[in-house]
A and B are shown apart, each in its own frame.
Chain A
Amino acid sequence: MRPENYEAQRHPPSHEYELNIGPNHPGIEGNYAFKLRLHGDQVIEGRADAGYLHRGFEKLMEGRLWIQNLAITPRICVPDPVPMEVSYCLAVEDLCGLRVPERAQYLRVLQLELSRFASHLFCFGGHAATVGMYSPSFWGIADRDLILDLFEELCGGRVYHIYNIPGGVRRDMPPGFIERVSNTLDYLETRLPDYDDLLFRNRVFVTRARGIGAMNQQQALDWGVTGSNLRATGLPFDVRRDDPYLVYDQLDFDIPTEDGGDAWARALVRRKELFESIRILRQVLERLPDIPGPIRCPIPNPLAWNVPAGSTYTRVESSKGELAWYVVSDGGERPYRTHVRGPSQMHAVQVLERLAVGSRIEDVAQIMFSLDACPPEVDR
């Protein structure tokens, strides 16, 4: 909402007052406002206010060719763009009945897990910054940059890769890439104990994060919570294992859980997921040299591609939770309807509004960041 259109709400005389946080504030990685009603420094009511990043992607995609839409999909979520590309490609492949070569599937997993790692590092940094510790955010962004370097080498783009296309990936790895990914992983693994010292054994962070924004498992299920936030309430659910896509059913990894359901538990789950991502990546790097074959299957002329009529719902596990596309084709060369279901549509709106009630002003930003929401997923 533009400032000139803002009208202060008139309340009866009381000790309550209204506080408008945002749209720019430390609680979230993007523009997203949160309107609070406070009594002293205690939150009585919170109302999310989205729309600052609305670009009408779903409408735009209806007017573009199937292949042109690839350039739009990663822009829906900047910190973790790869799952968007992959899930859209999975939807188109499902509609066309394309069989993706195994090598392309492993390359996608490689990319997905690197992206998850980078996104979690970003989240640690932001979460720590909300309690006044800025070193982890510098470290997280610096270490994330090493992964972005790998992406740049793989496909030329640091953030928006547009590396996947329906049927496979655009190009194979450059020579020596496996070794460089491996070296980066070795380095990142040696960094993780430093993060423990800096953040997870830091008394300031532990004391501030414990018990903040807590929900139990029943509440999480009722509110539609997914991803790391759901696993932090003790439910070991992961789309990668329970509704497998790509080659995740051939990879060996665990699903870490915590029981607390608070900001601290959510941070711990993400910390453990870093180790699982490294474990998956090492398996992928070990197998990739022995997997021959093409990196994409033949597709029709992409500029005159009539995708068979039908509808599909494809889900992947992004770093933030369950990400899904509902794609409808009427047999034309453009999608008839695309609907993206981002995990933040639940986390940043209803879940946040409920968790904020009863907390204090200084913890609101932490609750927001510990849910790891991404505003462009809400706005689209």
Chain B
Amino acid sequence: MSTGKELTRWLDDLLTEIEGIKVRRQSSKRLRVDIEPDALPALLALLRGRASYVHLSAISCVDWPNEEQFELVYHLWSYEMQSLVSTHTRIPREPGVYLSVYDIYPPAAFYERDIHEFYGIRFEGSPDLSKFILTEWDGPPPMRKDFDSEAWVHDHFDWQDYNPEWLRQLIAEGGGIAIRADEQRFSHHDDGRDQPAASQREPERDRQSPNTPEQPS
């Protein structure tokens, strides 16, 4: 589009008019916007309605426990202007409630449900926040930084020794499964340079049962 540059300049001007907003152009097709959570739905409605950013590519959530905040990033793409706007906003970690943008962008329903499941953020007005992927999970939201997977496993599962008969037998034989040289797909060398000397080579074993110990001849 020949007017692409003019449109993006128009967009830059428009965004600087909104208060409490920080715009940073990262490249010709990437724009980073930082905005207060109160103003974000209005900005998204503006971007979709007046600036042709019709495609919500994704909503990403980042947990910042030291600052007691969740960062929500809305990635919007415009098919006409061919540029991507990443809108960053930060909400307090407690109580972790924010507004849904489902009425502006229907694809948000999936991402909000996903973030609700993995971070525990409740989106007011989202059509369906029921469990989806972690259907049988009743622990804390697992993607939060203070959730330690290893500690959880340690606390909730018992260790089990796995030492079946066939494994002990295999170890007693010296371990591993012998593959005959002519069955190895990637070890054919015409010059035989990489092959061990004939005396060091594994004696050929029965093809049907490679694990059976050799019969003394």
Contacts and interface: CB of A to CB of B under 8 A. Distances in A.
B149 A56 contact: yes
Given A243-B84, A313-B84, A336-B62, A221 B110 contact: no
B79 A346 contact: no
Contacts of B82: 242-243
B134 interface: yes
Contacts of A337: 60, 62-63
Contact of A328 (B62, B114, B132, B135): B62
B103 to A, nearest CB: 12
A1 B133 CA distance: 10
Given A326-B75, A339-B60, A223 B30 contact: no
B180 interface: no
A346 B110 contact: yes
B57 A315 contact: yes
A54 B143 CA distance: 13
A326 B135 contact: no
A187 to B, nearest CB: 22
B35 interface: no
Nearest to A218: B54
B133 A223 contact: no
Contacts, number: 85
A51 interface: yes
A5 interface: yes
B25 to A, nearest CB: 14
B106 A341 contact: no
A221 B54 contact: yes
A346 B105 CA distance: 12
Contacts of A226: 55
Interface residues of A, number: 37
B9 to A, nearest CB: 19
B178 to A, nearest CB: 22
Taking residues whose C-beta sits less than 8 angstroms from the other chain, chain B's interface range is 20 to 34
Given A315-B57, A326-B58, A58 B107 contact: no
A59 B144 CA distance: 9
A221 B143 CA distance: 30
Contacts of B58: 313, 324, 326, 339, 341
Contact of A1 (B56, B135, B142): B135
Contact of A237 (B75, B79, B114, B135): B79
A350 interface: yes
B91 interface: no
B203 to A, nearest CB: 29
Nearest to A236: B79
Interface string B19-51: 000000000011000000000000000000000
B86 A313 contact: yes
Interface in A225-273: 226, 235, 237, 242-243
A207 to B, nearest CB: 32
A73 B110 CA distance: 22
A50 interface: yes
A278 to B, nearest CB: 27
Interface in B102-123: 105-107, 109-111, 114
Contacts of B133: 50-51, 54, 378-379
Interface string A350-363: 10000000000000
Contacts of A51: 132-135
Interface of A: 1-2, 5, 49-51, 54, 56, 58-59, 63, 221-224, 226, 235, 237, 242-243, 311, 313, 315, 322, 324, 326, 328, 336-337, 339, 341, 345-346, 349-350, 378-379
27 contacts: A49-B135, A50-B132, A51-B132, A51-B133, A54-B133, A56-B142, A59-B142, A221-B79, A222-B54, A223-B107, A224-B56, A224-B106, A224-B107, A237-B79, A242-B79, A243-B29, A243-B82, A243-B84, A324-B57, A326-B75, A337-B62, A339-B58, A339-B60, A339-B61, A345-B111, A350-B107, A379-B133
Closest 9 CB pairs of A and B: A224-B107, A341-B58, A51-B133, A326-B60, A339-B60, A337-B62, A54-B133, A242-B82, A1-B135
Given A51-B134, A349-B110, 8 more contacts: A1-B135, A1-B136, A49-B132, A51-B132, A59-B149, A313-B30, A324-B57, A341-B60
